[in-house]
Chain A
């Protein structure tokens, strides 16, 4: 049901039945290694190219999500997923393997929540009994497309972020038994915001206004106070973007505390890992949510969380043509029933 200007409330509370995640060697050294279902010690993952390895990541995340919920791929009506690579081939090729009717999504790093919002909407209105949604990214495949060759010795500024090699996927069902289950209750779809930042090595700074816009819109539409949530977690703002978003929210009068405002890009790695401003990529929010955060909810650490995934909608061409970076953010609220 549409509520307010740009939000949906899911009266039938779609259940997040199971979830799975996969990661690369760098994530295995990070803070959340224990929450990944599959970890690789090699960026190639036994494949011939980084793009193929990227596909493997998503396949593994979906397979572990299915396996943990005792589902077969034939049980799934739809798959909603996406990634950052041109024409989202890794995701589409994974959909070929999975043989599930498929919606390919692109919202850059906001794809994870774009997928979860749409999957929740479909399940809420009986459009499907079971759907799978997810997102993934691969550091080397993203570097190759957006920046320089992986072995090129260019110096990255401290504002740069490290693309996560990882994938996360979740199975949503219309299970009527919602007792003690994790459910999605509402979603806010963001609009594209461009505050004129054109530096592709400062994604956090570019995405912060979009994040603040969507978070403010969510609380306005649902007529809630930030204290409703135990945690408001952004996708991949990193150090700069997170601090900026926090200040923007404070200015707009939202009473949100530093303790309840976190960022997946800052949660995933250890402080001594050389990631400059933090993690990023579509796989960042997906692997942290469909691993660490939902595990924490299951263990009772959090009861209600708002996940806000942010995406920078640029291409290697657009920034070379001196275009600024338009950004977007989508939010989904997830609650323990």
Chain B
């Protein structure tokens, strides 16, 4: 809890929160990190295997194999979400299944399934990116900033 937030609270509230903290169950951070590392690593290994698959069996290079790999991973994520498995993986793995592209797929697909009952346009269309929207926005913006910095550094002759 931030100091600023604490200042706004009355002494009574602060006293209560100290009492409540004693009973609160803490997130098992170390255990969660290990699980996230293992599951996240497993997902990435599967992705790597799919990349090699496209390189060896189709005419893809290391540069061009990325797109079909991402598409395949999202397709798998879609199946697992649709069959109601991905949310259980998520509860177990945390960031391990949220950070890879499958987690991005899951956030889009779960929202689409959820709002199917409100119709295709206002339901699926309007809500599909309600979780992933901020990932896209800030992802694109961050890429723009990095590209800008690189361009400036190149122009100045640093790079």
Residues on A facing B (Cβ under 8 Å): 48-51, 144, 148-159, 194-197, 202, 205, 208-209, 239-240, 243-244, 247-248, 274, 277
Contact = CB atoms under 8 A, between A and B. Distances in A.
Contacts of A156: 91
A1 B131 CA distance: 51
A269 to B, nearest CB: 16
A126 B131 CA distance: 52
A240 B106 contact: no
Interface residues of B, number: 42
Ranked 3 nearest A-B pairs via Cβ: A153-B90, A149-B114, A151-B110
Contact of A244 (B19, B109, B115, B131): B19
Contacts of B12: 195
B20 A151 contact: no
A151 B17 contact: no
B4 to A, nearest CB: 11
B70 to A, nearest CB: 18
A144 B98 contact: no
B95 to A, nearest CB: 8
Contacts of B22: 247
B25 interface: yes
A55 B2 CA distance: 42
A205 B26 CA distance: 13
Contact of A151 (B13, B26, B87): B87
Contacts of B14: 196
B32 interface: yes
Interface string B16-34: 1101101111111000100
Given A158-B25, A196-B13, A150 B20 contact: no
B98 to A, nearest CB: 6
A155 B32 contact: yes
A49 B116 CA distance: 9
A205 B24 contact: yes
Contacts of B20: 195, 197, 205, 208, 240, 244
